């Protein structure tokens, strides 16, 4: 692989949809469409919003950059060509990318260029930075938001009054937004609806306009269509936050067939027939609501089970994190500091500390090594991009 220090200018790459530079220069919003090539709604919405701001000369305060994701997969309208572009943004893989020692698969080429573009934008513009990733799903769904459960993400996501899924990064390896969130940048994923629905493009546009207003790039009093865009997403208005209880992961070579008819957030019961795997029944292991059932050929996640997070838990976790109560976890038996932001936990001596407790104090389950669990703090900032 060639040296990743070679920079790509925004205007010279097909990843670049357009940009807006406002009079104040802050904040900076960076939005992606088409990270998955069969999800065209986000790209169409970004093209439309950029065009409207320019054509109508809508007063803009900050900076707005719109980028396409997986160009080759978009051309063929496939989720990916070799590997999922939204599963390779781990620190180790990015380090390989920078060192020029990574894989030569197609999506790494795309990652290299996107990384260079993101780094240029962050280096040449002022924060705060807001990253938005637009997606659609293979099943019918109302619009919803996914975030890593940091307090800055929560505050921003709550403004939209849409369902919010917390902590999905624990169940997915290498999403782009999880990597960006480690630098304390606000990072929201938006799922607009089913892949080929016209309404998904409309929802993406509505979300983008609101996101620009809520970030401070647009003032709603100078943007006449704000109420119209807000009213459309208000059709799905809710203040509910959800967390993931279970994930069915598809292994390589598995013949997975989701049972037809499921829609996002539909209630399910433990023992309910959900799918078939290699001809065998797959049943729900918990009560809850089904989340993102897979109705397409490509993908590693069969379905998730989620449940609502109580308002009390949200308030308590916010208070504990702001008061830095997480420091007390290090004093408990079976818990040791592995690094500034990571705790090493012996499950035998810390049986009373469930994953839910670590979530409360702002940690996410990262990985199991040998007989130890490693939990990493969400509300942190890493300096080196």
The alpha carbon torsion through 16, 380, 155, 214 (nearest 10 deg) reads -30
- Range of weakest confidence among 260-274, 289-303, 365-379: 365-379
- Does the domain at 243-309 match CATH 1.10.15? Answer given as no
What band does 319 get if pLDDT is binned at 50, 70 and 90? Answer: very high
- Range of weakest confidence among 94-108, 125-139, 213-227, 368-382: 368-382
Domains 10-236 and 243-309 share a fold: no
- Mean pLDDT, range 251-275, rounded to an integer: 93
pTM beyond 0.75: yes
pLDDT computed for residue 12 by the predictor: 66
Positive/negative CA dihedral, 175, 178, 341, 90: positive
The alpha carbon torsion through 275, 276, 277, 280 (nearest 10 deg) reads 130
Which tens digit of pLDDT belongs to each residue from 197-256?
999 999 999 999 999 999 999 988 878 889 999 999 999 988 899 999 889 999 988 999
Here the tokens at position 246 are 């279970």
pLDDT computed for residue 169 by the predictor: 80
pLDDT computed for residue 384 by the predictor: 60
Residue 39 has pLDDT above 50, yes or no: yes
Query: In this structure, which CATH number among 3.40.630.10, 3.90.600.10, 3.30.70.260, 3.40.1440.60 belongs to the domain 10-236?
Result: 3.40.630.10
pLDDT computed for residue 275 by the predictor: 95
Which tens digit of pLDDT belongs to each residue from 147-176?
999 899 999 999 999 999 998 888 888 899
pLDDT mean across residues, the chain: 89
Q: Parse the chain into domains and list their residue ranges.
A: 10-236, 243-309, 311-377
The DSSP-derived string for 202-259 is: HHHHHHHHHHHHHHTSS-TTT-TTHHHHHHHHGGG----EEEEEEEEEPPTT--EEEP
Q: Which of 58, 71, 84, 69 is nearest to 115 (CA)?
A: 69
Here the tokens at position 201 are 């493009």
């Amino acid at each position: 692989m060639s040296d990743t220090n070679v920079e790509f200018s925004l205007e010279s790459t097909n990843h670049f949809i357009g940009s807006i530079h406002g009079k104040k220069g802050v904040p900076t919003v960076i939005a992606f469409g088409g990270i998955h090539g069969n999800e065209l709604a986000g790209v169409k919405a970004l093209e439309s919003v950029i065009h409207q701001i320019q054509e109508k000369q809508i007063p803009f305060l900050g900076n707005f950059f719109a980028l396409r994701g997986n160009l080759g997969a978009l051309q063929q309208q496939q989720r990916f060509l070799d590997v999922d572009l939204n599963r390779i943004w781990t620190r180790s893989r990015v380090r390989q990318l920078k060192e020029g020692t990574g894989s030569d698969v197609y999506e790494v080429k795309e990652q290299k260029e996107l990384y260079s573009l993101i780094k240029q934008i962050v280096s040449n513009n002022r924060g705060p930075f807001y990253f938005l990733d637009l997606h659609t799903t293979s099943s019918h769904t109302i619009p919803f938001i996914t975030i890593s459960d940091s307090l800055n993400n929560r505050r921003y996501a709550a403004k939209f009054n849409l369902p919010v899924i917390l902590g999905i990064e624990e169940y997915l390896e290498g999403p782009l937004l999880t990597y960006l969130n480690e630098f304390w940048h606000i990072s929201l994923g938006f799922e607009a609806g089913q892949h080929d629905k016209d309404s998904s493009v409309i929802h993406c546009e509505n979300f983008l306009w609101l996101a620009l207003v809520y970030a401070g790039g647009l003032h709603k009093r100078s943007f006449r269509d704000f109420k119209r865009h807000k009213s459309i997403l208000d059709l799905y208005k809710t203040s509910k936050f959800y967390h993931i209880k279970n994930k069915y992961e598809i292994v390589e070579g598995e013949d997975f067939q989701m049972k037809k008819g499921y829609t996002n957030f539909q209630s399910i019961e433990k023992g309910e027939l959900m799918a078939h795997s290699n001809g065998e029944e797959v049943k729900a292991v918990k009560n809850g609501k089904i989340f993102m059932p897979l109705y397409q050929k490509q993908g590693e996640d069969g379905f998730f089970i989620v449940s609502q997070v109580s308002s009390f838990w949200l308030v308590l976790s916010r208070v504990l994190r702001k008061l830095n109560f997480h420091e007390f976890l290090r004093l408990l038996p079976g818990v040791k500091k592995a690094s500034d932001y990571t705790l090493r936990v012996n499950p035998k001596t810390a049986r009373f500390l469930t994953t839910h407790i670590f979530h409360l104090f702002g940690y996410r389950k990262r990985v199991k090594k040998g007989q130890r669990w490693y939990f990493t703090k969400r509300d942190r900032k890493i300096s080196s991009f």
